[in-house]
Structure 1
């Protein structure tokens, strides 16, 4: 018996949450050596070739048909895919997708941002953990801060909404003050992300973790006001101040009720659905990423969502199967 089209009903789990946001990794390769992720650089892990353009088309169509409205392209470092422009163009053209975003370390930002904008990129996220060039190079292994900041300036000239991600690190006590000075005159959203424990670096986490709650209290004391969360927004709590052109966001996975507003799912570069960043394993969907299996793929997504847990177990030190964030795009 042939499968029949299912009336559009957003993906939902057994905990009352709906999912309209897909984080799609197109490569697990990264050219940075950030201490908290790939301190020894990308080593390769025997994974198969990343999803092809045709496979990406099929999985994005399936998610769009089941209520996804926002797709974020991630890595590794997605700019290392030579067909990134074609991927962005294809995702943007998918019926039902309203917003296409990209997360990058910014290494090739200035060279490529105009091309991304021309094919319809709606939002850009850039990872910068320090505005001190020496600290930036020490963290990433690359002396590229000024070029990355120039790329951000170009994005702002084009009118792109830009978010800058900075991982909170105990050995960077000046992070808050230097970024506050920057966002006073720079209209970006700066998001501080709590360092999260991974299976590969438990000792690093113990030495460097800083609670985002202390940053939140400092912001509130300085007159920053909470902003209302958008319908397809990620997990950040965002704040605005009348004296600042930019906003501040906090992503605090160790806070209470962090998972209650979860609206995002992840597809790895190898084609596995990850129901949680810190889940035990992924569910292989790659065999279904063909046009003749499109309806079956949609049904499989709905079935797998019923397996999603109510919360991660980070508080118990359970980091799941993830060894580093480049594996499935953070």
Structure 2
């Protein structure tokens, strides 16, 4: 079966599959007022998840990241992981989580097939963490990170959204942390979404500020791996951990795009921004629809744009990142 490829020659073998848009944290940059459901939620069920995974695997998907919202809020999260692991062709299973369940479930999820975990920790200062996330479970999240390292995941990464005036001056604390802790620390530029224009204007901080400081202190850019995403990864011989920079406003950021997104209600998103989603759920009801699903995926790639146009001030149709899995 032909792999997914767009008209710019980019190949897509990485699926970010959201299984809920609900979240129990109230991060300022995403859900400052908490999760506000729009009526009764009808998230993809296990059979629909199995069929969407099968369809994507047929067209070359090798890595699947389970996202949300907070994906571990789903009671069948372990079963979702097992479903991904049972999908022929999928080689790597990852998730992004706020980490609140990780300390108690890290081994169980590893046994189910999970091999990479990204934990959102926007500050290593307890008060600052609570202010940004609207949640006071900093110690619980950090215990989860420690437990993931103990279990032996292939990769443990820490996601930090850069926020001017909130954590933008905390690089020294993060550097002290990764001197002895073997995690990939990823600084992510704040991205403007439909509901957060004023917040973006007040708190956006360019990743180049961090980049210049790293280079001045002897950090060196690592070669890009074949399956790497848009992060620029830096390492230093004196540190156990690495630093990645995700700078969506930088030149040619989209040139290395290799991922597609499916929302928790079954819509294909070709980008975090630019469009409102392409319906897939009507083709997830029966096994006989797999050929039609594959055909729709190929047709959809013809609509993918060369860039997200964020640099032109276009925040697209996404109200907030939790709505399609970040």
TM-score range, shorter-chain basis? over 0.9
Q: CA deviation at 1:280?
A: 2.1
1:232 partnered with 2:231: no
Which of 174, 178, 188 is matched with 1:193 structurally? 188
Q: CA deviation at 1:48?
A: 4.4
**For residues 298 and 114 of structure 2, what CA distance do their matches in structure 1 show?**
28
Aligned to 1:178: 173
Q: CA deviation at 1:173?
A: 3.5
Aligned to 1:4: none
Matched residue SS, 1:260: helix
Which aligned pairs between 1:129-278 and structure 2 lie closer than 5 A? Answer: 129-160=122-153, 161-171=155-165, 172-278=167-273
**For residues 20 and 281 of structure 1, what CA distance do their matches in structure 2 show?**
22
1:317 partnered with 2:313: yes
Which of 274, 282, 293 is matched with 1:279 structurally? 274
**For residues 309 and 205 of structure 1, what CA distance do their matches in structure 2 show?**
24
**For residues 213 and 34 of structure 2, what CA distance do their matches in structure 1 show?**
35
Q: CA deviation at 1:24?
A: 0.2
User: What per-residue deviation string (whole Å, max 9, x for no partner) do you get for residues 16-60 of structure 1?
Assistant: 100010000000001110000110001112474100000000000
Aligned to 1:64: 57
Q: CA deviation at 1:329?
A: 0.8
TM-score normalised over the length of structure 2: 0.97
**For residues 195 and 74 of structure 1, what CA distance do their matches in structure 2 show?**
18
Where do 4+ consecutive residues of structure 1 move more than 4 Å?
none
1:44 partnered with 2:33: no
Which of 273, 288, 298 is matched with 1:292 structurally? 288
**For residues 44 and 89 of structure 2, what CA distance do their matches in structure 1 show?**
21
Aligned to 2:70: 77
Matched residue SS, 1:106: coil
Q: CA deviation at 1:141?
A: 1.6
1:124 partnered with 2:117: yes
1:189–1:246 Cα contact (<8 Å) kept: yes
- Work out the number of aligned pairs and report it: 323
**For residues 80 and 67 of structure 1, what CA distance do their matches in structure 2 show?**
29
**For residues 76 and 31 of structure 2, what CA distance do their matches in structure 1 show?**
24
Which of 86, 96, 107 is matched with 2:100 structurally? 107
User: What per-residue deviation string (whole Å, max 9, x for no partner) do you get for residues 197-251 of structure 1?
Assistant: 0110101100100000121111111111111222222221100000000000000
Aligned to 2:324: 328
Tell me the C-alpha RMSD between the 2 structures.
1.0
TM-score normalised over the length of structure 1: 0.96
Relative distance call for 1:47 and 1:202 in structure 2 (3 A) is farther
5+ residue gaps, structure 1, are 1-7
**For residues 33 and 224 of structure 1, what CA distance do their matches in structure 2 show?**
34
